[in-house]
Amino acid sequence: MTQASAASATSSSARPIKVLVVDDDPVLLRMVQTFLLSSDDPYEVLLANSGAEALELARSEIPDLVLLDLMMPEMDGIEVCVQLRASRSTYLIPVIMLTASALHDHRLEALRTGVDDYLSKPFDPEELEVRIQSLIRRIRLSRASNPLTGLPGNLAIEHELNQRLARGEKLACAYLDIDNFKAFNDYYGFEKGDECIRLVAEVMIEAVEAEGEPADFLGHIGGDDFILVTIADRVEPILDVVIDTFDTRVRELYTPEDRERGWIEVLSRQKESTRYPITSLSIGVSTNEKRDLSNALEVSEIATELKKAAKSRAPGESNYIIDRRTS
């Protein structure tokens, strides 16, 4: 029953808020959808009538917010929320729980699973929208997540690095950059460029889930720049998966002709033609395994330096360089 509706943003140039509404009552689904799409603010509404369908949509669409019914057959809202919080791709998505239950224990259980807010049925649609807008605004400010990938942004990255260093933890910080991204973006357009950026996020999440640990951290600095924070023993296995998976899947973003040729040709502003190979990743890794690093800026500067070295070392090939220096 997967259904999606996009609000025409005629009244606002803002990016629509993507809301996933989950309820086994089709009347309530339609009511919420109709109300949100008639709002002065732009919304994109995704509908799911079961927990399993909700999880599938959440992982594929990465909504800005999930509006989740507590009482559903087979998989209730508590279990859906538990699984959302357990996945790297969905753990940051805010959740508002809808409940017809007046039991205090039900509400406490919902809050313990990571629900951000709850609303009792029947509810006032205007109150629902106010809560959605307020929660989205609060979550974005506190997490400073990137709206394209859902990964934590600059403020969260800096906070994470500084906290780990303050605790005296040994860490490895990988700085990932998409090679020749501007040329790819100019050639194929912004939508394809966004798809490439989302691919990097997906590949990183998959690699950490395969080779990493729950303590590992992923962040999106902005544009085509990403951060992975892990430990030295795990960084190479994770990056090997990242590179192998990205190099395979990024080719699918190219037309068959360009993929077969192995390059695209882009005209500069001076009308000069330049060939760019299939895009790849350049990665620099800083670590405090062999020398002291005092703050997030120092970690970032070393990783940036090594990323630039990786970019010049093997043009057209994904690769990484890890800092082995002792001072």
Q: How does strand 172-178 pair with strand 281-287?
A: antiparallel
Query: So where are the chain's domains?
Result: 3-143, 154-322
CATH of segment(s) 3-143:
3.40.50.2300
Cβ distance 96 to 69 under 8 Å?
A: no
Report the alpha-carbon distance of residue 301 to residue 41 in Å, rounded: 40
Encoding tokens for residue 234? 């795990």
Q: What's the distance, Cα to Cα, between the start and end of the chain in Å?
A: 59
The alpha carbon dihedral of 163, 164, 166, 172 has a sign of negative
Encoding tokens for residue 76? 């209730």
**pLDDT tens, position by position, for the chain (327 residues)?**
444 444 333 333 457 889 999 999 999 999 999 999 999 889 999 999 999 999 999 988 888 899 999 989 999 999 999 999 888 778 888 999 988 765 566 667 767 777 888 888 888 999 999 999 998 887 766 666 788 898 888 888 988 899 899 889 999 999 999 999 999 999 999 999 999 999 999 999 999 999 999 889 999 999 999 999 999 999 999 999 999 999 999 999 999 999 999 999 998 777 789 999 999 999 999 999 999 998 999 999 999 999 999 998 877 789 999 998 887
Three-state SS at 206? helix
Encoding tokens for residue 32? 């919420």
Cβ distance 229 to 173 under 8 Å?
A: yes
Class of domain 154-322: alpha beta
Report the alpha-carbon distance of residue 68 to residue 75 in Å, rounded: 12
Counts for the chain of helices (H) and strands (E), in that order: 11, 13
Q: How many CB atoms lie within 10 A of CB 162?
A: 15
* Dihedral angle over CA of 248, 239, 141, 40, nearest 10: 10
Cβ distance 87 to 56 under 8 Å?
A: no
pTM above 0.75, yes or no: no
Closest to 69 measured CA to CA, from 13, 17, 105, 123:
123
Burial (CB < 10 A; 0-12, 13-18, 19+), residue 103, is exposed
